[in-house]
Structure 1
């Protein structure tokens, strides 16, 4: 992605721990150095902090400065959308080679690596994506003729500045669409059901009290056929507390039923394992009960019997739904952890969209 002087940008993230700039602050591009990928910005708050894009600083394009020329701005918006259409198509073709039908083997590791590179601005990956060169002038006239809306100025009427603007905005739309579409394709690959939403808000490091997450027992990690450690099923819920460092979460009735079913499936797998080694009958029942709790729904109550697990006749728990109808299943007994949705083969429950944060009040 490239930038031109006069372009408006907004801060997304900076690694500078001392700056007073905050995400959402806007400024005007003064200069862009493509080789080291350093962006010089005159920020509206008076700061002149440069953005080191290869070192983790990130910005996004913002509105144009000064009173807008609405007619010309409409032309630029249309050109940007046209560039985005071509960029998405280029990204989809690229993804077929890297992630799709023409890729070989398990593409999930590649999808994770690409997503991380997009977040970090890693040139080792970004430089391999399709890109539109804003310094190549040969396609300007044809692009403008194809994409400019009805009523736009004729090509020969454009000033040199507007020719440059038209080229840069088309290329910017192309490049932005490429990164967005590549990220979407990666998310489709990684999500158990092909969900293309951005689920970065559900990363375990971002799960906060009162917020959504995907949870599993710390014992759940299992190697798949390729030796990759995976979580067979994750459970969607809301983190409400921690217990000795472990997660305590609430969930819907449907998710609670999935937890009960998963526990029964684990007991069945252990029972088959014992049978394969010649352990049957009463001895088999005893070993299964000593290893894992019995769980079942009794009406609206989750009945958990761990009497043989703990050797305690009183180790029986009956879990009822709270006033909100949500269950806390073994919240302060089992070692639950937050896991990334992309590490799960299946997810029980619905994953929420990120909550819109209220705008930061002006200082």
Structure 2
């Protein structure tokens, strides 16, 4: 920039340790030596300190705040507008910082189990764990002076390069606090959003299906109490969850209805459990002739007979009449082993797989 003799300027920054000049002080240009990048200034305070622009000194044209901004910082409404712009700028910077952080932590540049990492971060954010929160990006001046950084941020947010120097100290503090709070809040919100996607077994946000939110008539994800296992980080994991609508409760357990495709998967999952148990018995040396009986005594046998689910529990219940036929309702929905098995609504993020169509957040 070319400064003209007589032009009014304001100090942004100087490294001179001996000057009494402070950011915001104003003066009049005497001469601009563009070859040596120096600006000779007669400062209103009486100082004649020249600015060496190529060694870190910084000045900016001093203009009338009122003329430039229409009273941006002089009136209550104008100050509210300035703070709103600082808040928006801080939030945008926070989102950008969170995006870069997420790429290295749970995104394309991350290594290891990103779903596991995302679950840990989500849990830490929800619990307010400082071990996790301290790893998130935070607004920092990174060694810059408050006046220099504040001037840059305020100028970028409001479009006024000199209004900062007309602010009182409490106003500067308020503007920086608003920016910082908006930045850090946006970081936490965006990290939470990205982690919900990364931790989800479906790749979508399923936080609206948390069991604490599921009431009678609501859609949720359900699993049997037998399905819980310990994950690699010691938390509860569920191999598969089934989408259904909660219709009742029974002794504290959930009773839900589901579609035919989900019911078929429940039947298939039960058969997998039976096959796994049969394999374990065989490995233990149980004679082949006893395998069917031992499996039937431990696990119900589910199968489809046309549109009807047949639940054979005769050996399990030691009751020759313990055969249930589960028919679909008028909408073709099934209540699979409701009031018999211990089903419960579960956290979708704890599931490795989810069977069934999940509703959008505004439809849940």
Q: Per the shorter chain, which TM-score range? A: 0.5 to 0.7
Distance across 1 between alignment mates of 2:358 and 2:76: 40
Structure 2 match to 1:138? 148
Shift of 1:186: 2.4
Contact 2:229 2:238 in 1 (8 A): yes
CA 1:127/1:230 → structure 2, altered by over 3 Å: closer, same or farther? closer
Shift of 1:166: 5.5
From 155, 160, 167, give the equivalent of 2:161. 155
Distance across 2 between alignment mates of 1:72 and 1:333: 65
Task: Tell me how large the CA RMSD over aligned residues is.
Answer: 3.6
Given the alignment of the two structures, is residue 176 of structure 1 paired with residue 182 of structure 2, yes or no? no
Gaps of 5+ in 2: 1-74
Given the alignment of the two structures, is residue 252 of structure 1 paired with residue 262 of structure 2, yes or no? no
Gaps of 5+ in 1: 1-66, 358-363
Shift of 1:191: 1.6
- 1:90-146 deviation per Cα after TM superposition (whole angstroms, max 9, x unaligned): 223333555456766556665445334433444454344222259934233433554
Please list, as runs of the form range in 1=range in 2, the aligned pairs for 1:40-79 lying within 5 A after superposition. 69=77, 79=86
Contact 1:184 1:198 in 2 (8 A): no
Structure having the higher Rg? 2
Shift of 1:355: 5.4
Structure 1 match to 2:345? 338
CA 1:72/1:260 → structure 2, altered by over 3 Å: closer, same or farther? farther
Distance across 1 between alignment mates of 2:123 and 2:235: 18
Structure 2 match to 1:193? 202
Q: How high is the TM-score relative to the length of structure 1?
A: 0.65
From 299, 313, 324, give the equivalent of 2:306. 299
CA 1:104/1:317 → structure 2, altered by over 3 Å: closer, same or farther? same
Given the alignment of the two structures, is residue 202 of structure 1 paired with residue 209 of structure 2, yes or no? yes
Shift of 1:354: 4.5
Distance across 2 between alignment mates of 1:169 and 1:113: 29
From 263, 269, 278, give the equivalent of 1:271. 278
Shift of 1:157: 4.6
Q: How high is the TM-score relative to the length of structure 2?
A: 0.65
Structure 2 match to 1:237? 244
CA 1:146/1:280 → structure 2, altered by over 3 Å: closer, same or farther? farther
CA 1:122/1:293 → structure 2, altered by over 3 Å: closer, same or farther? closer
**Structure having the larger proportion of residues in helix:** 2
